[in-house]
Amino acid sequence: MGLGYVGLPLAIEFAKSGFNVTGIDLDARKIDAIYKGHSYISDVESDDLKKIVSQGYLNATTDFSILSNTDAVFICVPTPFSKCKEPDVSYIITAAETIRKYMKKKQVIILESTTYPGTTEEVVLPILEKDGKKCGKDFYLVFSPERVDPGNKSFNIKNTPKVIGGIDEMSTKLAQELYSGVIAGHLVKPVSSPKIAEMTKLLENIFRSVNIALINELTFLADRMDIDIWEVIDAASSKPFGFMPFYPGPGVGGHCIPVDPYYLSWKAREYDFYSRFIELSAEINLSMPRHVIAKTTSALNEAGKSVKGAKILALGVAFKKNINDARNSPALKVIEGLTAMGANIDYTDPFIPSIGNGSEFFSVCSGIDKMKSVKLSGKKLGEYDCVVILVDHEEFNIPFITKNAKLIVDTKNVTKGLPSQKGVKIVKI
């Protein structure tokens, strides 16, 4: 249920392993794309999709009544948060209510959507048992957090360990057997409860959020002290123990790292506990787009230009390199901020041809009017007062960009080691 960045790769791996899989989604465009063999997710090859569809292992539909013919159901729906940073589990609730309506006896139901500890037992279970059915007897319920890392060429569903927490022992056992059909058995890790599995996912991403926030705060300090934070990190990375490098950037994006801290801090209040450290980290990370805007404004001022009326190119709008996903992308916040200050913004991104309300395949909350990616040329680059590097896509020809731009604000340190060009100033965060 849900054919996005989690659901479609999962469906494909099960189909590749010989399971008969049906993907369900409300977006008819996704269903149409699947049957045409056109992948809308960068981690899924269109040839793989076309092959398993033609072989009959993967079907797709908007009709949820198909649930009554399935032995196992994976819930892979979005779990966004509100403007007030409160979790929105309405998609999970709707999925659970739909499953209850079409439930097949002895069905295994697995929630993969990232959420706060307690969701499986406190939200999903009561809905499924509403008609008198009992977990462990009439159906089985599990939480198993997705560990998708978009753009990662080394780790995927098949070779990434899978954590499983069932409501009861049989739920866990059945899910373990099921996942072992696509993942090596030794990589399937059962835990004692859904809450443990739910908390595991949050710990993984909050760990990254906290460490990214630490390096972002040190970046602010290093900037005031006129110290190159990138060189500091490079030097510290020479230590073979006790140090793990994290890097600054324009902010954090995607569905997990910007979201998960708020899921846990919201739930913590139920226990009269305030996760100040976690919330502070999220606050620091959210401040990075404003820091990039300030650095860009300062760089333009030094070049004798006002940000109002300046022509600026944003290099990349995805939330990380080499993917076509702009959800919660800090690049969008930078574009919004500079636009609000009167700058004229273009963007280029080889993976995202258009952005703005209604233009994305996946909905992206943004105040940006519809924009299209521009094609780069030496002449085109020379027309901009400033180029802001927001994403380090491998397809970007950084030496070419550096050679032809007038002013560059580099948030990714991709200009490191490049020979200085006459008349080109590079500013790093």
- My answer on whether 400 and 301 are in the same domain is yes
Identify the domain boundary among 138, 168, 201: 201
Identify the domain boundary among 167, 201, 235: 201
Banded pLDDT at 284 (limits 50, 70, 90): very high
Number of folded domains that form the chain? 2
Banded pLDDT at 82 (limits 50, 70, 90): confident
Above 70 in pLDDT, residue 362? no
- My answer on whether 301 and 188 are in the same domain is no
Identify the domain boundary among 178, 201, 224: 201
Above 80 in pLDDT, residue 312? yes
The active-site residue out of 135, 256, 365, 386 is 256
Closest Cα to residue 322, out of 8, 41, 102, 36?
A: 41
Q: Is residue 191 part of a domain?
A: yes
Q: Is residue 223 part of a domain?
A: no
- My answer on whether 305 and 188 are in the same domain is no
Banded pLDDT at 87 (limits 50, 70, 90): confident
- My answer on whether 300 and 181 are in the same domain is no
In tens, the pLDDT along 155-184 reads 999 999 999 999 999 999 999 999 999 998
Lowest mean pLDDT of 80-84, 213-217, 352-356, 359-363, name the range.
359-363
Q: Is residue 417 part of a domain?
A: yes
pTM of this structure: 0.91
Q: Is residue 240 part of a domain?
A: no
Q: Is residue 292 part of a domain?
A: yes
Q: Is residue 226 part of a domain?
A: no
In tens, the pLDDT along 203-233 reads 999 999 999 999 999 999 999 999 999 999 9
- My answer on whether 195 and 299 are in the same domain is no
- My answer on whether 58 and 189 are in the same domain is yes
Two structure tokens written together for 116: 């706060």
Share of the chain above pLDDT 70, in %: 97
Banded pLDDT at 358 (limits 50, 70, 90): low
In tens, the pLDDT along 65-79 reads 999 999 999 999 999
For residue 256, indicate whether it is catalytic.
yes
Domain of residue 304, residue span: 287-428
**What pLDDT, on a 0 to 100 scale, did the predictor assign at position 257?**
86
Tell me the average pLDDT of the chain. Answer: 93
The enclosing domain of 396 has a CATH number of: 3.40.50.720
Longest dimension (CA), the chain: 76
